[in-house]
Structure 1
C-alpha cells in the first residue's frame, strides 16, 4: 500500500485557505497541531506516518501558520470552521487527535462539528488565572522581537526561567504572531464548555507532567459524558510514541 502524501487546500467558511497533507488509507483521522506548530515544524513527524498504516491521516496548517491563510481578526470559532471544512473535504466524517492547545481546539470541534465521530485529546489546555500577555506579545512581534515574544509565551505557560533561556526561539519565530491566537483559544475554554460533546472521547495525559496539565485532562474527562481518561508513560507534556499510537488506534 502506498503512503505517498497528497497535498491540497480547502477554503474555510470565512474564505481563508487551509493547506493540508493526506497520507495512508482507511478511516479519516485529522491531526491538530499545538501552538506554533505546522506541517513544516510539526509535532507529528513520527506520529502521522505510523497512524497512516491504518488510517487516512490528514495534517494541516492551522490558520496563520505555514501555507495556510489568515484573517484580520482571530476568533476561535473560525478555527472550528477550518476543521469543519477539512472534514467536509475528506468525506464528511472524521476522528480528531489534538495535542495541547490543538487538543483544546479538537474538543471544541468535536462539540460543534457534526461530522466529527470521535476525538482523542492529549493534555488539553484550559483557562487559568495567569497574566494576560497577549498585548505584550503582539507589541514584541510588531517591534520585530519575535524571539522575545516566544520567550514571553514560554514563561507564561510555566516553563522555568533557566529552561526558557536555553530553548532556541528560532524555529517558532515565524509563527510568533499566532501565539495570542492560542492564548485566546485556551483562555476562553473551560471544562464545562465541553459537556455537550456526544462522540466517543479519550483524554490522555503524561505520567510525567505537572499537576496542572494532568488535572486539566481529568477535568475534561469528567465534564464530557462517557469520556475515558488515561495516563500514558512520558515526560513533561509529552508521551511515549508507541503508547500514543496504540491509544489512538484503540478508540
Structure 2
C-alpha cells in the first residue's frame, strides 16, 4: 500500500508513502479518498491529518513515468474523477506540508481545510512553467484560500512561496518550528478534535457549502484547457525542461 492509515485520540493520520517526491496518480488519490470517506463513518475519528513520508509533501503527477507519461489526458481524466471526491469528505483535514507541494501537490494541499508548513516548505503553482493550465481544482481552491490577486501571482509566475510568505498570504495556517511540523499539525488537529464533533461538521459544511460543485465544474474546465495545451510545443518544452532541470524556452506555439 502507498498509504498508511492510523487513528489515535480522535485524530486519524493518512500518510502518502511514495518517497521522496510522493507523486500521485488515480490509484493513490483513490486510496486517500476511500480511506477518508471510511473515516467519515468512524466515531473514533474527528479530524484527519494528511501527511507524507520522505522529503516532500507531494510533487503532483509524474510526467516522467507511469500513467501520465503514457497519456496525459486519459490519466488526468481518471485522476480528476477521484480527486473530486475529496471534496465530499465530511471530516476536517489538516495537511502537514514538508519540503515542496508543487503543481497537483499544491492542489492536494489546498483540498484540506488547513495547511501546516515549516519555514523551509515551498508551495509552487508551476503549471504555466510547464506550459499548461492549472488543474486539480486549484482554479477554485487557491483563490478561495489566498485571494484572487495572490492566486494570480502564484499561477502566472509559477514562483516558489516559502513557509513565511505562505503564512503571510493565508496559504499556511500554522508555521511550525523546523523539525516540529508533524507535532504542530497534530496539535492543531487535536484542538479541533476537542470541540463538539456534530457542531464541527455542521460549521465546516456551512463554510464549504457549494465547494464540491464548484470544484467539479472547475475540474471539467481545467481538463478541457489542459487537453488543448498538452498538444502544444510549449507544453512539450515545459515538461521536458522540468524533467531535464533546465529553464524552459517558450515560443507561444
Q: Same fold (TM over 0.5)?
A: no
TM-score (norm 1): 0.34
Bigger fraction of residues in strand: 1
